[in-house]
Structure 1
Amino acid sequence: MAINKLWRHLTEPWQRAAGAWFAFFLLFNAYCFFWRHYIGGGHYQFFDSQLFWLKEWGSLCVLSIGVVAFFNLKARVKSRIYFYPTMLLMSISLIISLRILIDFDFYGYALAASVTQLFPKYFIASTLVLILWHVFTVQAESTPATVLPEHSEHLEKTDYIEVNHKGVAKKLPLASVVFIKSAGNYLKIQTVENRYLKRDTIKHLYSELPSDTFCQVHRSYIVNVAQIADFNLALNKRKLTMAAGFSVPVSKSFKARVSDLLSVEDSFITK
């Protein structure tokens, strides 16, 4: 379907958020037109309908796209337990405040009653936005991207990674790579001096890397074993210290593999 193809071309989370809001905007106008002409027996007022939509949903639309575009959950906040409730309360507070200010003549006479009236609707809407954001982020990391062979970037002879840096093709020697981090449909390839982006999935790239040099230590991280400077696999402190001071987390599911790789005695591993 054309809609499905268009959706697949929206690779960034903020683009998908904007696309979802645009679809909702069109559906809202179709509903207003149908209701006015066939149910209410009146005439469809275009500008009145747009103004009503902006009052009800405009602030949430702008906020949700902004949140998806400028906040990176995994990079900025270690614990989702604290992040989601905080973002939810901040979003609802901002939306309700904007809604009351936009229509102060209607809502301003009784602020407590207005907040009580508006809270359930915007709580549900904000929760759905955060859930969709989470689902799309996880799906983007776990679903291999469909790339045409003639446009695919690939490894040659497994001695370097080919990337496009500022529009110029560049070959990164594998020995210079410190670690690789998944970022949606892209990979962040970190060297000692620079960071590069490559359109690929972590699963596909890992299958092309030499297993004696690179090891996956987390769902979102691959490290160069030769670049490991120190490690700590104790409970709740599982991490690797890489060259140049970079720190990489080690997930519980990959801990056994990492300990085998580093030949760590079981007595030093806290399960």
Structure 2
Amino acid sequence: MGSKKNVAPLLKHDHCISSIGWVMFMCLIFANCLINSVFIEHKSISLIDSITFPLQKWGIWLILTPFVLHMLQSRRKFALSSRLFYCVLSISTLSLSLTFSVALEVSQSDISIVHSLFFIWPKHAAALLIVILLWHLKQVLFHKPNTSINALQHNHTSSKVNTLMIEVDGLTHTLAYQDILFVQAAGNYMEVVTQERTYLTRATLKQLHNLLPKDDFVQCHRSYLVNLDYIEQLKNHPAGHASAYLIDSQVIPISKSQRSTIRTLIASR
């Protein structure tokens, strides 16, 4: 429950910022419509048309952007590879946006569905790409990484044997081993996930594995270490791999080679 309480304010903040961004973008389109009517086409100003035009074109993203942000924030709960996750997210989001936009445009003009779809989809694909890139940029800029693995190793040798010390923004956090759910590789960094929050540190999976007790933490996937105490259920998949369901609705992948090993270790505890 702790992680959900921490994620909710972050999502509300992201949703607020995204809504403000889209409103500002549509205000620019509104201003452009007015300028075009007055100075270029020399027509009388139609405030209703100028307001409804950007809403018809981009209003759906006021609803879809919070959905996309929520999915990105909750991506670890899905037992999908990163590539498959983004593929599913893109298809579902673009399907909704294009269905709404094309249906609205076709209902208001004589343009065909195919013709409308041909001109609309690149704009909406670009909008989705920008939302995803901005979200990732925010993670890089405002979720600063912790200290290097050298500092972790130094803290580890001087701390109690059942704790891991991580420095975040100049503050040292002592994590009890039993509070760590799992560790996930994130590019050149590692995410140490607890029920309360996620800590980001520059390290390798092998380096962190050496700092954690081998009896409790097992590498279940090339990108994951899992605390066996928190696995509530294992679900096998036809392809041979599996998914581990942890407390707090966390789901992490289990590779084919480790599936039987993980099951045996859990049964022997």
TM-superposed CA distance for 1:50, in Å, is 0.9
Q: Which amino acid aligns with 1:67?
A: F
- Other-structure match for 2:170: none
- Other-structure match for 1:92: 98
1:174 paired residue among 174, 177, 182? 177
- Hey, what's the Cα distance between the residues in 1 that align with 2:246 and 2:51? 55
Q: Which amino acid aligns with 2:177?
A: L
- Is there any run of 5+ residues in structure 2 with no aligned partner, and where? 1-9, 146-151, 167-172, 263-269
TM-superposed CA distance for 1:121, in Å, is 3.2
TM-superposed CA distance for 1:54, in Å, is 1.8
Q: What's the Cα RMSD here? A: 5.4
1:21·1:61 contact (CA, 8 Å) conserved in 2?
yes
Report matched runs for 1:53-202 at 5 Å.
53-58=54-59, 60-71=60-71, 72-73=74-75, 75-76=77-78, 78=80, 79-80=84-85, 81-100=87-106, 104=107, 106-107=108-109, 113-140=111-138, 145-146=143-144, 157=159, 159=163, 173-180=176-183, 189-190=193-194, 195-198=195-198, 200-202=199-201
Distance 1:250 1:12, change over 3 A: farther
Q: Which amino acid aligns with 1:53?
A: P
TM-superposed CA distance for 1:49, in Å, is 1.1
Aligned length: 223
Query: Does residue 250 of structure 2 align to residue 249 of structure 1?
Result: no
Which string of whole-angstrom CA distances, capped at 9 and with x for unpartnered residues, describes residues 192-230 of structure 1?
A: xxx3235x43548x9x9784207887797554488789x
| TM value normalised by structure 1 | 0.53
1:161·1:172 contact (CA, 8 Å) conserved in 2?
yes
2:218·2:226 contact (CA, 8 Å) conserved in 1?
yes
- Is there any run of 5+ residues in structure 1 with no aligned partner, and where? 1-8, 148-153, 163-169, 263-271
- Hey, what's the Cα distance between the residues in 2 that align with 1:20 and 1:32? 19
Name the SS for the 2:211 alignment partner. coil
- Hey, what's the Cα distance between the residues in 1 that align with 2:197 and 2:115? 46
- Other-structure match for 1:151: none
1:63·1:91 contact (CA, 8 Å) conserved in 2?
no
